[in-house]
Chain A
Amino acid sequence: MTITKRFWTALIFSFPMLIGMILMPFGIMLPGGEWTQFVLTTIVMAVAARPFLQSAWASFKKHHSNMDTLVAIGTITAYVYSIYAMFTRQAVFFESAAFVITFVLLGQVFEERMRNNASNAIEKLVDLQAKEAEVMRDGKLVKVPLSDIVVGDIIRVKPGQKIAVDGVITEGNSTVDESMVTGESMPVVKKSGDKVIGSTINSNGTFMFKAEKVGGDTMLSQIVELVKKAQNSHAPIQNLTDKVSEIFVPVVLILSILTFLVWYVFLGATLANALIFAVSVVVIACPCALGLATPTALMVGTGRGAKMDILIKNGEVLEEVSDIKTVVFDKTGTITNGKPEVTDIVGNEQVLTIAATLEESSEHPLATAILNQAKKQNISSLAFNNFKAIEGKGVEATINGQKAFVGNDKLLNDVHINKELKTEMIRLQNEAKTVVFVGSGNKILGLIAIQDAPKSTSKEAISALKKRGLRTVMLTGDNNRVAQAIAQEVGIDDVIADVLPGDKADHVKDLQKNGKVAFVGDGINDAPALTMADVGIAMGSGTDIAIESGGIVLMKNDLRDVVKALELSRKTFNRIKLNLFWAFIYNVLGIPVAAGLFFAIGLTLSPELAGLAMAFSSLSVVTSSVLLNKSKISVA
């Protein structure tokens, strides 16, 4: 019988007793009196309460106890005593047993629903997968289910279809919406030789690709695995509740016996009253609220993170985040885009046109930056001849019958540069930018400044972290001048430059002397630092190793997510603490009240109210966890 059915049974059969209780003050009695109550309660006990009794007995035999033990002992006591009282013509309290069962089941019905609610984030992720794919088998394309795809299969993807597994395009091209995995909102252009990720959506073209990772090895499966582990991980704070829950039930049973003895033996209460207090103690105590406090919050918090493309690996990370004092950033690829870009052009359009023309066949990173910029501005290159390199200085060629050149500052020995351009050059160089000179004849026409520029979101993210009272540090292998310039631009507090790749972890260790450190990085060389830091935050577009070493993984390459991740972790951990606080306080206050400690000031609890309070204490903990989904997480 399901919990819901048991609840309805209990409700229907205790309802007449509720009516009876309400009508009693008006002198209207339930027909049949005690006998009707006896029959109704017996049905409730036999049908709705039986699983509690069975479970309590089964665990008792194994020297264990749980919430069912308390419910069973409380209601059986009330029930058996009432039968005895009925035959000895004393006041009965059958309804207490029936009501307690009804309330406890009501609480469990809600709680079950909430618990399912808390755990559904992961199912949504799995649902993202394609169900089948068109695979080349024996030279023909056939539809096969996802689970039958093997590494090396050639798969066709039509427009609008989901890509089944991870692989490499062998034929055709298209644009792909990868937002569900990488968080990148713009569709990405894919051509032969490019990698595609399973579960992303193909938009306009048809292409064939070769499966490289299938089943549990695909990126999505690994993300799902990560989230699952996180949701079910054990937070260190739980060690406390583990200890408490082990002794909780026996201690409550002892307290209830003591309550009975004190009232009956020492205070001279009637047997019925002493029993009522004892039963209330057993019924109000709620170990479940304690047990549910941490796992439900953890599940909702990490699940919500996954929806925001922030993967928090486990409960331990959450705890660490709450005492972070310093956030250390890797520079290249973390604060900056990781590739040089044109940041300034001094001079007219001709400057970029000449530069793009001369650099067209070069593979130097600076040349790539110039060509990308030309493409962005829709500048096409010109016809040229007499192309030649100027040793160590740059390149030159003849365009429209005139000599044109592009190169570095060593060119300045041969050609003239006017004063204005010179001031500009000094300004740009002070900003740690690489300056490229573009000229025609023997005159410099203009300058192009190139830099691995900070991401547009870095500055905002860092100021948000500083606002939260965190110290920000940049750790980089780059030279001090470049590092300082970038640091200034994004507003970072301290810079540690010229760091050898192998020494990053040692610097993190040093910083840990002043409190807990979070390290944000992406490259393979960041893995030791990610592990060394109290909280390692890996940028998800980075390498597998970085993801493996990080405690938090950001799927999007956006530093603002560092702020969000810290905020979410903090909120989740605070929610755990809040839940635990309420669960403890509830028991600490509820048990003395139920025991009749405040009888003198008129504060007592009947067993049915105690049952109601118990049902709602665990329900309120689960609700509080689910509400984490609604709490505000923002960068500002």
Chain B
Amino acid sequence: MTKILVLIIGIAAIGFILWWFFGNHHVASATANVSNGDQKVDIEVNGGYSPEVVTLKKGIPATINFTRKDASSCLDRVVFSDFGINKELPQNEQQSIQIDTSEAGEYQWACGMDMFHGKLIIK
């Protein structure tokens, strides 16, 4: 009897994992605030990036401020491979990254181990 119960719980857990990680969930996104000919976005790094999708306006100098709250060494660097940026993110310190917005497009960023991803849209 216990075994059947355990089996049911186990299968339910598998179902939950599938739904939780592969289901279609809302992704936090943000558009940069433009002020004085400059645009800025703050991103909190904690178990991933929030927001995860950032939209920037083309042609306006942009700064993205990353603040890493997470102690994991997985997230201790942020890499924008298209821009040649690879910056260390010391824990609980704001790190500013300048983005060249001269070309429109979609760009990925990732953590140093390429496990967590974020998306940058310039338009």
A interface residues with partner B (beta carbon < 8 Å): 1, 3, 51-52, 54-68, 108, 111-112, 115, 119, 225, 228-234, 238, 241-242, 245, 247, 249-250, 253-254, 257-258, 260-261, 264-265, 287-288, 291-292, 294-295
Contact = CB atoms under 8 A, between A and B. Distances in A.
Contacts of A253: 17
A52 B72 contact: yes
Given A63-B20, A253-B17, A232 B86 contact: yes
Contacts, number: 123
B113 A257 contact: no
A228 B86 CA distance: 8
Q: Which 6 A-B pairs have the closest CB atoms?
A: A58-B47, A59-B47, A229-B84, A51-B71, A55-B72, A291-B113
B70 A58 contact: yes
30 contacts: A3-B73, A51-B72, A55-B47, A55-B70, A55-B75, A58-B48, A60-B20, A62-B47, A63-B20, A63-B21, A63-B25, A108-B73, A111-B73, A228-B84, A228-B85, A229-B83, A232-B79, A232-B80, A232-B86, A234-B81, A238-B114, A257-B14, A257-B17, A258-B14, A260-B10, A265-B3, A291-B114, A294-B114, A295-B79, A295-B112
A68 B70 CA distance: 11
A62 B50 CA distance: 9
A434 to B, nearest CB: 47
Contacts of B28: 62
B83 to A, nearest CB: 8
Given A54-B70, A253-B17, A115 B84 contact: no
Contacts of B46: 55, 58
A51 B73 CA distance: 10
A2 to B, nearest CB: 9
B81 A264 contact: no
SS class of chain A's interface: helix, strand, loop or mixed? helix
Contacts of B4: 265
Given A51-B72, A67-B115, A232-B81, A250 B18 contact: yes
Contacts of B20: 60, 63, 250
A541 to B, nearest CB: 24
A232 B13 CA distance: 38
Contacts of B85: 228, 232
Contact of A245 (B3, B14, B112, B115): B115
Contact of A112 (B6, B69, B73): B73
A232 B116 CA distance: 15
Contact of B115 (A57, A66, A257): A66
Contacts of B70: 51, 54-55, 58
A56 B70 CA distance: 9
B51 to A, nearest CB: 11
A245 B117 CA distance: 11
B47 A64 contact: yes
Contacts of A1: 71
A225 B84 contact: yes
Contact of A68 (B13, B18, B23, B74): B74
B48 to A, nearest CB: 4
B8 to A, nearest CB: 10
B48 A64 contact: yes
B13 A257 contact: yes
A245 B114 contact: yes
A264 B18 contact: no
Nearest to A111: B73
A285 B25 CA distance: 26
A621 B81 CA distance: 21
B7 interface: yes
Nearest to A274: B6
Interface of B: 3-4, 6-7, 10-11, 13-14, 17-18, 20-23, 25, 28, 46-48, 50, 52, 69-75, 79-81, 83-86, 108, 112-117
Given A232-B86, A249-B21, 14 more contacts: A51-B70, A54-B70, A55-B71, A65-B21, A112-B73, A225-B84, A229-B84, A232-B79, A234-B108, A250-B20, A261-B10, A288-B113, A294-B114, A295-B112
A112 to B, nearest CB: 6
Given A68-B72, A288-B74, A254 B17 contact: yes
A270 B118 CA distance: 44
A250 B21 contact: yes
Given A52-B72, A56-B47, A241 B114 contact: yes
B115 to A, nearest CB: 5
Contacts of B80: 232
Contacts of A66: 72, 74, 115-116
B79 to A, nearest CB: 5
Contacts of B18: 250, 254
A294 B84 CA distance: 16
A72 to B, nearest CB: 10
A253 B22 CA distance: 13
B86 A119 contact: yes
Contacts of A233: 81, 84
Contacts of B47: 55-62, 64
A287 B18 CA distance: 18
A254 B14 contact: yes
Contacts of A56: 47
A87 to B, nearest CB: 18
B7 A261 contact: yes
B73 A264 contact: no
Given A58-B48, A232-B81, A295 B114 contact: yes
A58 B44 CA distance: 11
Nearest to B72: A55
A199 B25 CA distance: 52
Interface-centre pick from A3, A57, A59, A242 (highest chain B CB count, 10 A): A59
Contact of B6 (A58, A261, A291): A261
Contacts of A260: 10
Nearest to B12: A257
B106 to A, nearest CB: 13
A234 B85 CA distance: 12
B116 A64 contact: yes
A67 B74 contact: yes
Contacts of B6: 261, 264-265
Contacts of B79: 232, 295
A53 to B, nearest CB: 10
Contacts of A59: 47-48, 116
Contacts of A230: 84
B18 to A, nearest CB: 7
Nearest to A249: B21
A143 B41 CA distance: 38
Contacts of A234: 81, 108
Nearest to B10: A261
A229 B82 CA distance: 7
A57 B72 CA distance: 11
